[in-house]
Amino acid sequence: MPEEIWPGFHATEERCIWVPDHDAVIIADLHLGYEGVLRLDGVAMPRYQDRIIKQRLECILDRYEPRRVIINGDFKHNFSRNLRQEWREVSDMLSYLAEAHDVILIRGNHDNFLKTIAVRHDVPLTWHYELQDVTITHGHRTEDLPNSQRLLLAHEHPFVKLRDEVGATLSMPCYLSNDDVAILPAFSPIVSGTDVSDAAPRDYLSPLLHDINVDSFKVTAISDVGLLDFATIGDLKDIHRQCAQNI
């Protein structure tokens, strides 16, 4: 079941925020074309991410029936140019989404050349988007932010790693939230991210988080059985320290 992180903003097990009063869903960090970049670097990665992303989107659109789809940055992956795979995957995904929905693209640090593709589908590209009392922005820059009550970020790809007494680990993507800031999990199934159970404050990528007590963030993990509440990052770190002392 979705969990309300702020009034009207619901974290879901589908890696999206659902805002029913505004008939909207918010996702982030799809990193379309990632496999093509890996292949350029000599990594033999089969292409399968776009299929998984499409399946996840179909589930979201069927379940929540939003009019508006907001993508909070890093829709594509390559920094320097639009690779052939990105042209195809980004165009196909925008065609699919824009056919029956209002699509808003928020520019992430990987989206340097996204506008070239987005304009062909009449999809706006912006640095941030305001919804209710929330500014939705990717999180990699601090310039020109409106003075909203809350910030909804992405960029970090947060996950929580659980360890048992014999050293086995389980990693789960997660939402982070406090009263003023929330962070979306990555929608991509293959990108790496920030292990919030072990990260120091300066390990976080977003400059907007460097002056915040990140240990106060509530952790809501996404598992095969739904959303799991893991209290705060600080609580998780305390548990890990106690476990390490008992080994």
**From CA 45, how far away is CA 199, in angstroms rounded?**
28
The CA–CA distances, whole Å, from 124 to 14, 70, 167, 218 equal: 24, 11, 47, 32
> 29: how many CB neighbours lie within 10 A of its CB?
25
The average pLDDT across 143-171 equals: 86
Q: What pLDDT, in 10s, does the model give residues 184-229?
A: 999 999 898 999 988 888 899 999 999 899 999 999 999 999 999 9
Residue appearing with tokens 């601090």: 142
- Are the CB atoms for 127 and 92 separated by under 8 Å? no
- Are the CB atoms for 106 and 73 separated by under 8 Å? yes
Q: What pLDDT does residue 83 have?
A: 60
Q: Are strands 68-72 and 226-232 parallel, antiparallel or unpaired?
A: unpaired
Report if pTM > 0.85: yes
Residue appearing with tokens 């982070």: 176
219, β-bridge pairs: 176
Q: Confidence class of residue 55 from pLDDT cuts 50, 70 and 90? A: very high
**From CA 220, how far away is CA 66, in angstroms rounded?**
23
Q: What pLDDT does residue 200 have?
A: 86
Q: What pLDDT does residue 175 have?
A: 98
Q: What pLDDT, in 10s, does the model give residues 78-133?
A: 755 556 667 788 889 999 999 989 999 999 998 888 888 899 999 999 999 999 99
Among residues of the chain, what percentage have pLDDT more than 70?
86
**From CA 166, how far away is CA 181, in angstroms rounded?**
35
Q: Confidence class of residue 158 from pLDDT cuts 50, 70 and 90? A: very high
Reply yes or no on whether the pLDDT at 180 is more than 90.
Answer: yes
